[in-house]
Amino acid sequence: MRLFIHKCSDPQLWYADLVGHEVELLREDSDGYWSREPAGYTNIVRREDAEVITDEY
């Protein structure tokens, strides 16, 4: 599964430059969505900033 980044509620977050793009979804928990930064680190994406994209048709 993937995440579509709709917005970035804080310009200091790692995905600020990825608004309008998809990123890998590693897992989801009570804190939010977890993905991998371009640098390779695992980091959080706020729920209000992204939407889960599934491959279901």
Per-residue pLDDT of the chain (57 residues; tens, 9 = 90+): 999 999 999 999 999 999 999 999 999 999 999 999 999 999 999 999 999 998 766
Alpha carbons within 13 A on the beta-carbon side of 35: 26
Q: In whole angstroms, give the CA distance from residue 39 to residue 10.
A: 19
Count: domains in the chain = 1
The whole domain housing 34 covers 2-53
Going by their DSSP bridges, the two strands 27-29 and 22-24 should be labelled as: unpaired
* Full-model pTM: 0.88
Q: What is the CATH number of the domain that holds 38?
A: 2.30.30
In this predicted structure, what is the pLDDT of residue 40? 95
Q: 3-class DSSP state for residue 8?
A: coil
Q: 3-class DSSP state for residue 20?
A: coil
